[in-house]
């Protein structure tokens, strides 16, 4: 229920803001707005304020919205009201009305990011876990437990790193833009600093997912290799592991943190042809001040068609946290920068998918969005606000794409009109609309297919 409510609230807010942008700019430009609708299908609620020509409607299906304006192309217009019709407005007014929807979403994202910056959010400190094997971080000499102090793209000025999420965001941008990142770190807070460079330009990035950070080598914040909640009838319970056990070694390998322990468990399998079984190993754990030897045989589970070891227990302690917040001006400035960065990254990903440099698996549909809405809402208000900001940017950028059925497509028509002095003919506009609908439905089908794969195959 939380997921559904969070999803509907997010969708309703983002659509309302988008359509309000169109509506408000139309009013400013003197265009008569006949209907403002959130949702499609059967009307479940409507009202019309006094002294207003606009009917406000909420439809049954909350999957979009529209602003219906007076327009000679859609019906007869009285001569006395012709000056209020959309189609009779100047080119710049029509362009402003169309662009106002996506711009409203981008402005909402700035407000939401700013609110998060002002309120503050608890995030893991920038202390990294053990890097994954054969990753860039491991090749650069990271062992785990390093405290990231500053980082930046090579040739850029250093910027202070306040949390692990901020550091991972910089790495994401670097990987997608093929820019190397320089890092200043210390082995302990207050310790002597060292510098190193991660050659992210070497990565062949097609998807923004867990495999990206597998290649980079930085997956999680540092946490102690302790055993948490244990599932009934799990490998951990059968072996006799107890909640609170501190794992010191697995076989002959010393364990330094939870990330290393998780990777060790995942790799503790024995492959025999087409079948795989758990590899029994001796664990040395510290329990109530005493060292105890325990034999553990992980269960084998399939993830992304690959067998991995699982023990059925939470692995790791709560990482060290820090409260990240900023003052009025810095918080607002950072919000503008983050909105711009996410917008540019979104555009580049779309371009990469179109030219085949990025996988279409990056497209997400309503099921994935609903899932993230529920998860972010359960994490707290600030996490939900960050989620809303991210989706608002995506909605704004998507609507600026030059597809005829989207706002960006109409803006392309206006660019043509500005260059040639002639409007696109209704004949060609109808053709473009059909093509745009076909492309949009194809994108929606791919996104929904990706959703189903994530939900039913990778679980």
pLDDT at 109 over 60: yes
The model's confidence at residue 275, banded by pLDDT at 50, 70 and 90, is confident
Tell me: the pLDDT tens digits for 390-402? 889 989 998 998 8
CA distance 29 to 84: 9
- Averaged confidence pLDDT in the chain: 85
CA distance 371 to 10: 12
The model's confidence at residue 459, banded by pLDDT at 50, 70 and 90, is very low
Instruction: Return the pLDDT at 406.
Output: 86
Between β-strands 281-287 and 290-296, what pairing exists: parallel, antiparallel or unpaired? Answer: antiparallel
Q: What angle do CA 146, 149, 155 make, to 5 degrees?
A: 115
CA distance 428 to 422: 13
What does R_g of the chain's alpha carbons equal in angstroms? Answer: 27
Q: DSSP secondary-structure letter at 178?
A: T
Instruction: Return the pLDDT at 373.
Output: 63
CA distance 260 to 254: 9
Q: Is the dihedral of CA 365, 368, 374, 377 positive or negative?
A: negative
363 close to 450: Cβ distance less than 8 angstroms: yes
pLDDT at 318 over 90: no
Catalytic residue among 19, 123, 146, 297: 19
CA distance 369 to 385: 14
92-101, 114-123, 308-317, 431-440: which has the minimum mean pLDDT? 431-440
Tell me: the pLDDT tens digits for 197-232? 999 988 876 655 567 788 898 888 999 999 999 999
The model's confidence at residue 147, banded by pLDDT at 50, 70 and 90, is very high
Instruction: Determine whether 207 is an active site residue.
Output: no
Dig out the tokens for 345 from the structure.
């990254």
Transcribe 296-337 into DSSP letters.
Answer: E-PEEEEETTEEEEE-SEEESPPPPEEEE---HHHHHHHHHH
Dig out the tokens for 314 from the structure.
């939470």
pLDDT at 261 over 80: yes
158 close to 151: Cβ distance less than 8 angstroms: yes
The model's confidence at residue 255, banded by pLDDT at 50, 70 and 90, is very high
Q: Which helix (H) or strand (E) holds 47?
A: strand 33-47
Instruction: Return the pLDDT at 210.
Output: 60
Which stretches does DSSP call E strand in 79-234?
A: 121-124, 147-153, 159-160, 181-186, 193-198, 227-230
What number is the average pLDDT over the span 92-98?
A: 95
Dig out the tokens for 67 from the structure.
């602003």
Tell me: the pLDDT tens digits for 16-67? 999 999 999 999 999 999 999 998 878 888 888 888 889 999 888 777 888 9
Give the contacts of 302 (CB within 8 A, at least 6 positions apart). 308
Instruction: Return the pLDDT at 370.
Output: 60
Which stretches does DSSP call E strand in 297-449?
A: 299-303, 306-310, 313-315, 321-324
13-27, 271-285, 422-436: which has the minimum mean pLDDT? 422-436
What number is the average pLDDT over the span 153-176?
A: 90
What b/e sequence results for 169-192 when a residue is b if at least 16 CB atoms lie within 10 Å of its CB, and e otherwise? ebbbbbbbeebebbbbbeeeeeee
Instruction: Return the pLDDT at 458.
Output: 47
pLDDT at 289 over 80: yes
């Amino acid at each position: 229920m939380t997921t559904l409510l969070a999803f509907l609230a997010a969708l309703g807010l983002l659509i309302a803001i988008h359509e309000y942008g169109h509506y408000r700019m139309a009013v400013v430009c003197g265009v008569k707005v006949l209907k403002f609708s959130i949702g499609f299908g059967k009307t479940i609620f409507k009202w019309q304020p006094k002294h207003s020509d606009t009917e406000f409607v909420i439809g049954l299906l909350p999957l979009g919205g529209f602003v219906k304006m007076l327009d000679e192309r859609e019906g007869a217009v009285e001569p006395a009201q012709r000056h209020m019709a959309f189609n009779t407005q100047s080119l710049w007014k029509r362009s402003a009305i169309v662009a106002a929807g996506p711009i409203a979403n981008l402005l909402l994202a700035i407000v939401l990011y700013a609110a998060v910056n002002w309120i503050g959010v608890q995030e893991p400190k920038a202390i990294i876990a053990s890097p994954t094997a054969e990753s860039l971080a491991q090749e650069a000499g990271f062992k785990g437990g390093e405290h990231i102090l500053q980082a930046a793209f090579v040739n850029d000025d250093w910027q202070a790193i306040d949390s692990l999420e901020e550091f991972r965001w910089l790495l994401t941008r670097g990987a997608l833009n093929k820019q190397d990142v320089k890092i200043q770190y210390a082995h302990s807070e207050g310790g002597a600093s060292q510098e190193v460079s991660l050659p992210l330009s070497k990565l062949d990035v097609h998807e923004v997912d867990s495999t990206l950070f597998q290649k980079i080598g930085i997956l999680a914040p540092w946490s102690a290799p302790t055993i948490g909640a244990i599932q009934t009838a799990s490998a951990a319970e059968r072996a006799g592991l107890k909640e609170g056990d501190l794992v010191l070694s697995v076989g002959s390998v010393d364990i330094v943190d939870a990330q290393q322990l998780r990777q060790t468990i995942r790799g503790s399998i024995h492959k025999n042809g087409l079948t795989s079984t758990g590899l029994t190993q001796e664990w040395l754990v510290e329990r109530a001040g005493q060292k105890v030897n325990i034999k553990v045989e992980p269960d084998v589970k399939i993830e992304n068609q690959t067998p991995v070891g699982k023990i059925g227990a939470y692995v790791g302690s709560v990482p060290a946290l820090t409260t990240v917040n900023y003052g009025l001006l810095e918080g607002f400035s950072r919000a503008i920068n983050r909105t711009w960065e996410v917008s540019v990254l979104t555009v580049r990903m779309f371009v990469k998918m179109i030219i085949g440099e990025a996988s279409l698996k990056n497209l997400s549909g309503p099921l994935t969005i609903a899932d993230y809405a529920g998860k972010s809402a359960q994490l707290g208000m600030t996490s939900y606000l960050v989620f809303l900001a991210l989706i608002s940017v995506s909605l704004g950028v998507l609507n600026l794409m030059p597809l005829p059925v989207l706002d960006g497509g109409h803006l392309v028509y206006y660019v043509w009109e500005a260059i040639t002095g002639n409007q696109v003919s209704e004949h060609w506009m109808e053709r473009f609309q059909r093509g745009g609908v076909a492309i949009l439905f194809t994108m929606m089908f791919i996104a929904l297919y990706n959703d189903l794969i994530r939900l039913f195959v990778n679980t």
